[in-house]
C-alpha cells in the first residue's frame, strides 16, 4: 500500500497493530485484533473491547477513560507544592522517641566527585575551620581594610603603557574619550580633530592595541586614557588573564563573608568553609547596600544566580548527605530555615537562634551538643550543616507527596514518525542510539542498575503506544487516534525496567524505523503527545521525564493545534512581543498539570521550517526541561551533535519533582525569579525536573535596613527526588556583606553575574514591552550604575573621561554584546524560531555559559605547539585581530569555528588538515583529521576540552577566509559593528559615555 495512511495505522506492514480506534470503524464491528492479547486494548467506535486487566469492559471511550481515571485514584495529586515543604511541623522535638543521637552515617569515605551526587557524610569534615570568621554571619564587621582588590595586578609584562596618570584619590578606571580635555591628559596619537565630540564610528583598524594604557596604582586601581586615535585598551582579555594569573593558583575558600570569587573564566578550586561554592551560587554584589535608597540610587541589581545541582570539578567532593533521623532536618520553628552554620546556639546548646528571623528554637534532645568557650558546638566541624555552605538532608515522608515515599522516576521516549522525521534519518538514529543509551540511565552508584523505568511512544497525527513487557515475545503496538481525548491504553507493560525487557525493547527499536519507512503522513500533533506521557506518569504514580523528538508545526486537528504565524513584518514594531508569547493558552495549562505530576519535558526539535518554538517550548520551559534545535537536520552532518546532546541529556544527574525556596535574613527578600520553572505562588519555585545544568536567578529587594555588622544571609533549599527515588533537600547558604558606602558596593560587584541577570530580565521583558524599549532601558540602567559611581565614588575629573569602577570595567563591552544579540537585535535573516529558542536557552544559563555566549572565546593558534599545558591567550573578538597567516578557534558555547587565514602556512595546513594548500581544505568537514603530529593533537585536545566544558555539543565548522561561511563567523566578532546595525564596542562606549554625561548634567 503506497498511499498515505488515513487512520494512523502505519502504511508499512506493521507487525502487530493491536487495536486502533478510528471513526470509520464504528460501522465495521469489532476489529479482528481483539483476540490478540490480554494487554491489548481495542477501541472500536463506541464499542470498546477492553482487556481483562482493566476489569469489565466499558461501553464507551468515555467509560474507558473514566475507568482509567478510576485506576489512578491513588495517584491523584495536589497541584500545589509538595506537602511538608515549608509546612508547619508540630514541634521540633521528637514526639515520642527517645533521643537516639545524631543519625549520621559514618561509612566509607566519599567516592570522589565523579557522580556529582552526595555522599553519606563520612565523619569530620576534612578541612580547616574558616580562616577569619568562624561564624561569619554573627561575627564582627569585616576587617576595615578590604582584601586587596583582585583583578588589578601590576602592569603585566608586555603591556606597553603609553599614558599613566596616577590619581590616588580616585579608585577608578579613567577612560578618556574624545579629544583630550584642557588640563587633562595629552593624547599620544595625532591631535584630535574638530567635530569629534560626537564620537563617530571608528574606522576599522584605526586603533592600535599597543596604544592603550593599562597601569596600576599600587596594585589596586587602574586608570586608562583613550582618545580617538590612541585606542585601544583591551579590557576584556586583560581582566580575564589578570584574574587567571592571580586566582587560579590557590583554592578559593568560602569562609570569608562578602568575598567575590574568581571570574568564571578562571579555573579554580573551591574549599567550602561555610558559604556555597561559586559553582553553585554567584552574586551580582558581595557588598549589598544597607538601604533600599542606596540600592535604588546605584541601580546595581541585587541578585544571585543559583545552580543547585551543579556538577562540581573532579577535585571537589559533592555535598554530603546528612540524616537527622525520623523527625527530619532541624529547622527554625518560625521561618523554617534549615540548620546551617549561621544558626547561633544559646543556653548551653539547648536552643538556637535563627540567623534569618531571630526566632529561638529548642534543640531536640537527639541533636543536643555542648558548646565550647566561643559558643560554638563542639561537634561543629563534624557536621556539614554546621560548618559547610552546601550539603543535603535526607527528607522524611513528611516531605513527600501524600506522605508517601516516591516511586523511582520514569523516562518516556516519544518519537515523531511523520514523513520528515523518517526522511531526515532522525527516527533511525534515535532508535539505534537508544539501544545502547538505555544502559546509561542515571543512577547514583555506577555499579548498580538504574531504577529509572522506560516507555515508548511514536506518533504523527495519532499516537502509537508500545507494550514491551518482558514476558512478550514481540512488542505490541496500540494506536490511539482519538487525540482530542488522550489516554494511555495500557498500564502493564508500558513502563518497564530496561534489564528485564531488554529483548523486547531492542526488537521494538529495530522495528520502528522499518514500520514507518514508507510513511506519507506529514501532519503531526504535539500537545496530545505531552498529555500521553503525563498520563502515563500519573498512572504509574511517579515523576519522570519525557524526551520528545519532534519535527514540525503541529497542524493536525487536535488540542494545541497551531498555525503558522511567523510574520517578519512585526519585528521591530510594538506587536513584536506577541511573537514570543504562546500562540494558544493550552500549553500553559498543560504545563501546570505536568509540574503537579513532576513530569519534566525535554524537546528535541528537527525543523525544516517555522515550528513556533515560542509555543512548543512552553511546557519544557515551565517544567525545568530543555529544548534542543537542529535546523535542517541531516543525519550525515548533524548526527554527531544530536547524539552527543542526547547522550548527555539522558545520562545527566537530575532531580525530579523539585521545589526550591529561597529564604533570606531580615532586611531583604527574594522578589523575582528567572529560569525554567513554574510558580503558582510568590515563593515556591516548582521544577518538575532540575538537572545539573539549570540555574535559577533570584532577585532580591530590601524590605528593611540591613546592617553592616550582620551582613545579609541567603539560604536556598531544593527539595527533590533523586534518580533512585530518594527524597532529599539540597541546601546552599550564602552570606554577603552589607555596606553603608556606595564606594564599597562598587568595589565588590561581579559584572558577569550582573550581565547574566540583566539579560534574563531583558529577555523576559520582551514578552510585555517592545524590544526597543527593552534595549533602551538596559542602556539606561547601566548608564545610571556608572553615573552613580562617577558622581559618588570617583574623584572629580573632566567630563571627557569615562570613569568605570574596577569591577565593572567590562560592563559596557558585555552590555553591547547583549544589546546586539540575535534576540534583542536580530539580523534580517534571523528566524523567529531562532530568537525564541535562544531566548529560552539563555534564561536558564549559568554565568559561565552566558559569558561565553555573549563574548565568545577567540583563540589564536600559532604555528608551533609551544604550549603543552596551556591554552593560548584569547584575543579580542574583532576582525582586526585576525591575521591572514593564522588559524583561530572561536567558541560560543553553542558554536565552534575554526577560521583559516588565506595565507596560512603550508606546514600549518599540513599539520592540521593534512593538505598542503588552502584551496584543498574541505569546508564541509565537521571534525579534524586525526594526524600524528603535536600540533594536530594539541588542537584536537583544545576542541575536545571546549566541548566537555559546555552542556551542549558544539559542532566544528571550518571557515575559510573569504568563504561564504565567514559571514556567520563574523557575526560573533562582537567588538565589531555588525551587519544589522549592531554597534562596535568603541561606538557603544562613546554612546554610553554620552548617556552617563547626560545623567550627570
**878-884 contacts, C-beta under 8 A, 24 or more apart:** 878/973, 878/975, 878/976, 878/985, 879/204, 879/970, 879/973, 879/976, 880/204, 880/205, 880/207, 882/961, 884/961
DSSP class of residue 161 equals: -
Q: Which of 159, 357, 643, 779 binds Zn ion (CB under 5 A)?
A: 357
Q: Confirm or reject binding of residue 359 to Zn ion (CB under 5 A).
A: yes
To the nearest whole angstrom, how small is the minimum distance from the Cβ of residue 366 to Zn ion? 20
To the nearest whole angstrom, how small is the minimum distance from the Cβ of residue 331 to Zn ion? 8
* Listed ranges 43-51, 180-188, 349-357, 392-400: which one lies at the site for Zn ion (CB under 5 A): 349-357
To the nearest whole angstrom, how small is the minimum distance from the Cβ of residue 336 to Zn ion? 7
Q: Confirm or reject binding of residue 355 to Zn ion (CB under 5 A).
A: no
What is the dihedral sign for C-alpha 6, 7, 8, 11?
negative
Nearer to Zn ion, 21 or 356 (CB): 356
Closest CA to 713 of 393, 387, 342: 342
The secondary element (H helix, E strand) that includes residue 420 is helix 419-423
E strands, 99-255, in order: 119-120, 173-176, 216-217, 221-222, 252-253
* Listed ranges 350-358, 382-390, 607-615, 650-658: which one lies at the site for Zn ion (CB under 5 A): 350-358
b (16+ CB within 10 A) / e for 313-345? eeebbbbbbbbbbebbbbbbbebbbbbbbbbbb
**Binding mask of the shown chain, residues 277 to 316, with x at each position contacting Zn ion by CB under 5 A:** ----------------------------------------
Give the residue ranges of DSSP H helices in 541-634.
Answer: 586-597, 613-616, 618-622
To the nearest whole angstrom, how small is the minimum distance from the Cβ of residue 353 to Zn ion? 9
Residues 551-570 that bind Zn ion (CB under 5 A): none
Nearer to Zn ion, 334 or 937 (CB): 334
DSSP class of residue 259 equals: P
d(CA 613, CA 283): 31
Give the residue ranges of DSSP H helices in 769-831.
Answer: 771-792, 811-819
To the nearest whole angstrom, how small is the minimum distance from the Cβ of residue 377 to Zn ion? 18
To the nearest whole angstrom, how small is the minimum distance from the Cβ of residue 661 to Zn ion? 13
Burial of 161 (0-12, 13-18, 19+ CB in 10 A): exposed
To the nearest whole angstrom, how small is the minimum distance from the Cβ of residue 273 to Zn ion? 23
Nearer to Zn ion, 453 or 663 (CB): 663
Nearer to Zn ion, 155 or 683 (CB): 683
Closest CA to 825 of 780, 757, 756, 770: 770
Please work out the total of residues on this chain that contact Zn ion, with binding judged by CB under 5 A: 8
Nearer to Zn ion, 209 or 344 (CB): 344
To the nearest whole angstrom, how small is the minimum distance from the Cβ of residue 865 to Zn ion? 58
Strand partners, 285: 749
To the nearest whole angstrom, how small is the minimum distance from the Cβ of residue 819 to Zn ion? 42
* Listed ranges 359-367, 485-493, 677-685, 808-816: which one lies at the site for Zn ion (CB under 5 A): 359-367
Closest CA to 727 of 400, 402, 408, 449: 400
To the nearest whole angstrom, how small is the minimum distance from the Cβ of residue 836 to Zn ion? 41
Q: Confirm or reject binding of residue 356 to Zn ion (CB under 5 A).
A: yes
d(CA 814, CA 754): 10
* Listed ranges 137-145, 295-303, 324-332, 421-429: which one lies at the site for Zn ion (CB under 5 A): 324-332
* Listed ranges 72-80, 200-208, 351-359, 907-915: which one lies at the site for Zn ion (CB under 5 A): 351-359
Nearer to Zn ion, 51 or 665 (CB): 665
Q: Which of 354, 613, 617, 810 binds Zn ion (CB under 5 A)?
A: 354
Nearer to Zn ion, 359 or 740 (CB): 359
To the nearest whole angstrom, how small is the minimum distance from the Cβ of residue 376 to Zn ion? 19
* Listed ranges 64-72, 325-333, 766-774, 830-838: which one lies at the site for Zn ion (CB under 5 A): 325-333
Q: Which of 224, 256, 294, 335 binds Zn ion (CB under 5 A)?
A: 335
Nearer to Zn ion, 363 or 889 (CB): 363
Nearer to Zn ion, 192 or 364 (CB): 364
* 211, three cell numbers: 596604544
The half-sphere exposure of 71 on its side-chain side, counting CA atoms within 13 A, is 21
Phi, psi (rounded to 5 degrees) for 175: -115, 105
Q: Confirm or reject binding of residue 490 to Zn ion (CB under 5 A).
A: no
d(CA 403, CA 400): 5
To the nearest whole angstrom, how small is the minimum distance from the Cβ of residue 361 to Zn ion? 8
C-beta of residue 565 within 8 angstroms of C-beta of residue 589: no
d(CA 960, CA 966): 7
Q: What share of the chain is helix, strand, coil (3-state, %, to 5)?
A: 30, 20, 50
* Listed ranges 21-29, 336-344, 394-402, 413-421: which one lies at the site for Zn ion (CB under 5 A): 336-344
Q: Confirm or reject binding of residue 332 to Zn ion (CB under 5 A).
A: yes
Nearer to Zn ion, 119 or 361 (CB): 361
To the nearest whole angstrom, how small is the minimum distance from the Cβ of residue 752 to Zn ion? 32
> Site residues (CB under 5 A) for Zn ion?
332, 334-335, 337, 354, 356-357, 359
Amino acid at each position: 500500500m503506497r498511499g498515505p495512511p488515513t487512520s494512523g495505522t502505519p502504511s508499512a506492514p506493521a507487525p502487530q497493530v493491536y487495536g486502533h480506534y478510528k471513526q470509520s470503524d464504528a460501522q465495521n464491528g469489532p476489529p479482528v485484533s481483539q483476540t490478540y492479547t490480554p494487554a491489548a486494548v481495542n477501541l472500536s467506535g463506541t464499542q470498546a473491547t477492553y482487556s481483562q486487566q482493566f476489569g469489565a469492559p466499558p461501553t464507551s471511550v468515555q467509560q474507558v477513560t473514566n475507568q482509567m481515571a478510576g485506576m489512578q485514584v491513588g495517584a491523584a495529586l495536589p497541584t500545589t507544592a509538595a506537602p511538608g515543604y515549608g509546612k508547619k511541623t508540630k514541634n521540633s522535638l521528637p514526639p515520642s522517641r527517645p533521643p537516639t543521637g545524631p543519625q549520621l552515617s559514618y561509612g566509607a569515605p566519599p567516592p570522589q566527585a565523579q557522580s556529582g551526587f552526595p555522599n553519606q557524610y563520612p565523619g569530620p569534615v576534612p578541612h580547616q575551620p574558616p580562616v577569619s570568621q568562624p561564624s561569619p554571619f554573627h561575627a564582627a564587621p569585616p576587617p576595615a581594610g578590604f582584601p586587596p582588590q583582585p583583578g588589578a595586578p601590576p602592569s603585566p609584562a608586555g603591556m606597553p603603557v603609553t599614558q599613566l596618570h596616577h590619581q590616588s584619590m580616585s579608585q577608578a578606571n579613567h577612560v578618556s574619550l574624545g579629544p583630550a580635555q584642557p588640563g587633562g591628559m595629552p593624547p599620544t596619537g595625532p591631535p584630535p580633530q574638530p567635530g569629534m565630540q560626537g564620537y563617530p564610528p571608528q574606522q576599522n583598524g584605526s586603533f592600535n592595541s599597543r596604544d592603550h594604557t593599562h597601569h596600576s596604582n599600587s596594585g589596586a586601581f587602574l586608570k586608562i586614557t583613550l582618545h580617538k586615535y590612541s585606542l585601544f585598551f583591551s579590557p576584556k582579555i586583560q581582566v580575564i588573564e589578570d584574574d587567571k594569573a592571580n586566582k587560579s593558583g590557590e583554592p578559593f575558600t568560602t569562609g570569608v563573608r562578602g568575598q567575590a570569587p574568581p571570574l568564571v573564566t578562571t579555573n579554580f578550586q573551591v574549599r567550602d568553609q561555610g558559604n556555597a561554592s561559586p559553582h553553585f551560587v554567584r552574586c551580582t554584589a558581595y557588598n549589598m547596600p544597607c538601604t533600599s535608597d542606596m540600592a535604588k540610587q546605584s541601580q546595581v541589581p541585587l541578585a544571585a544566580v543559583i545552580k543547585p545541582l551543579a556538577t562540581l570539578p573532579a577535585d571537589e567532593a559533592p555535598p554530603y548527605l546528612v540524616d537527622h533521623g525520623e523527625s527530619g532536618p532541624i529547622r527554625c520553628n518560625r521561618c523554617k530555615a534549615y540548620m546551617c552554620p549561621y544558626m547561633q546556639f544559646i543556653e548551653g546548646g539547648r536552643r538556637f537562634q535563627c540567623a534569618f528571623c531571630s526566632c529561638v528554637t529548642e534543640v531536640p534532645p537527639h541533636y543536643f551538643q555542648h558548646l565550647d568557650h566561643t559558643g560554638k558546638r563542639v561537634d561543629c566541624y563534624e557536621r556539614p550543616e554546621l560548618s559547610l555552605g552546601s550539603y543535603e538532608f535526607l527528607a522524611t515522608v513528611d516531605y513527600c507527596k501524600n506522605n508517601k515515599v516516591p516511586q523511582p522516576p520514569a523516562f518516556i521516549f516519544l518519537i515523531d514518525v511523520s514523513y520528515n522525521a523518517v526522511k531526515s534519518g532522525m527516527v533511525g538514529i534515535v532508535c539505534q542510539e537508544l539501544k545502547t543509551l538505555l544502559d546509561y540511565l542515571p543512577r547514583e552508584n555506577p555499579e548498580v542498575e538504574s531504577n529509572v523505568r522506560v516507555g515508548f511512544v511514536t506518533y504523527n497525527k495519532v499516537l502509537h503506544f508500545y507494550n514491551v513487557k518482558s514476558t512478550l515475545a514481540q512488542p505490541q503496538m496500540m494506536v490511539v487516534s482519538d487525540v482530542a481525548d488522550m489516554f494511555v491504553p495500557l498500564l502493564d507493560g508500558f513502563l518497564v525496567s530496561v534489564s528485564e525487557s531488554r529483548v523486547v525493547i531492542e526488537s521494538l527499536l529495530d522495528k520502528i524505523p522499518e514500520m514507518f519507512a514508507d510513511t506519507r503522513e506529514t501532519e503531526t500533533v504535539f500537545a496530545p503527545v505531552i498529555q500521553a506521557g503525563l498520563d502515563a506518569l500519573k498512572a504509574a504514580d511517579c515523576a519522570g521525564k519525557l524526551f520528545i523528538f519532534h519535527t514540525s508545526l503541529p497542524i493536525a486537528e487536535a488540542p494545541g493545534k497551531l498555525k503558522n504565524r511567523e510574520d517578519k513584518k512585526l519585528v521591530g514594531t510594538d506587536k513584536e512581543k506577541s511573537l514570543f508569547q504562546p500562540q494558544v493558552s493550552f500549553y500553559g495549562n498543560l504545563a501546570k498539570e505536568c509540574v503537579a505530576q513532576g513530569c519534566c519535558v525535554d524537546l528535541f526539535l528537527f525543523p525544516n521550517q517555522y515550528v513556533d518554538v515560542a509555543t512548543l517550548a512552553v511546557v519544557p520551559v515551565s517544567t525545568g526541561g530543555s529544548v534542543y534545535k537542529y535546523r535542517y537536520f541531516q543525519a550525515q552532518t548533524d548526527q554527531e551533535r544530536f547524539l552527543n546532546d542526547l547522550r548527555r541529556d539522558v545520562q545527566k544527574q537530575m532531580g525530579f519533582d523539585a521545589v526550591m525556596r529561597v529564604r533570606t535574613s531580615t532586611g531583604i527578600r527574594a522578589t523575582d525569579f528567572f529560569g525554567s520553572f513554574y510558580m503558582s505562588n510568590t515563593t515556591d519555585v516548582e521544577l518538575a525536573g532540575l538537572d545539573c545544568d539549570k540555574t535559577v536567578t533570584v532577585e532580591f529587594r530590601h524590605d528593611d535596613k540591613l546592617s553592616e555588622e550582620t551582613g545579609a544571609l541567603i539560604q536556598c533549599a531544593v527539595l527533590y527526588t533523586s534518580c533512585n527515588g530518594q527524597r532529599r533537600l539540597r541546601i546552599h547558604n550564602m552570606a554577603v556583606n552589607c555596606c553603608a558606602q556606595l564606594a564599597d558596593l562598587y568595589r565588590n560587584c561581579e559584572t558577569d553575574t550582573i550581565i547574566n541577570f540583566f539579560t534574563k530580565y531583558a529577555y523576559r521583558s520582551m514578552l510585555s514591552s517592545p524590544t526597543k524599549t527593552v534595549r533602551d532601558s538596559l542602556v539606561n540602567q547601566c548608564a545610571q550604575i556608572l553615573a552613580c559611581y562617577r558622581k559618588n565614588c570617583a574623584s572629580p575629573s573632566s567630563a571627557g573621561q569615562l570613569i568605570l569602577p574596577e569591577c565593572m570595567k567590562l560592563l559596557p563591552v558585555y552590555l553591547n554584546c547583549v544589546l546586539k544579540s540575535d534576540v534583542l537585535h536580530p539580523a534580517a535573516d534571523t528566524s523567529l524560531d531562532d530568537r525564541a529558542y535562544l531566548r529560552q536557552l539563555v534564561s536558564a544559563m549559568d554565568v559561565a555559559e552566558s559569558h561565553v555566549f555573549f563574548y565568545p572565546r577567540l583563540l589564536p593558534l600559532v604555528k608551533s605547539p609551544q604550549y603543552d599545558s596551556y591554552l593560548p591567550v584569547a584575543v579580542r573578538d574583532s576582525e582586526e585581530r585576525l591575521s591572514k597567516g593564522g588559524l583561530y578557534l572561536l567558541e560560543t558555547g553553542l558554536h565552534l569555528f575554526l577560521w583559516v587565514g588565506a595565507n596560512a602556512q603550508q606546514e600549518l595546513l599540513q599539520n592540521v588538515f593534512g593538505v598542503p594548500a588552502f584551496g584543498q581544505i574541505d569546508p564541509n568537514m565537521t571534525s579534524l583529521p586525526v594526524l600524528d603530529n603535536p600540533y594536530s593533537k594539541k588542537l584536537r585536545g583544545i576542541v575536545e576540552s571546549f566541548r566537555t566544558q559546555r552542556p551542549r555539543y558544539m559542532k566544528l565548522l571550518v571557515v575559510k577566509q573569504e568563504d561564504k561561511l565567514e559571514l556567520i563567523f563574523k557575526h560573533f566578532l562582537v567588538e565589531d559593528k555588525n551587519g544589522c546595525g549592531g554597534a562596535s564596542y568603541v561606538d557603544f562606549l562613546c554612546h554610553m559615555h554620552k548617556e552617563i554625561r547626560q545623567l550627570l548634567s
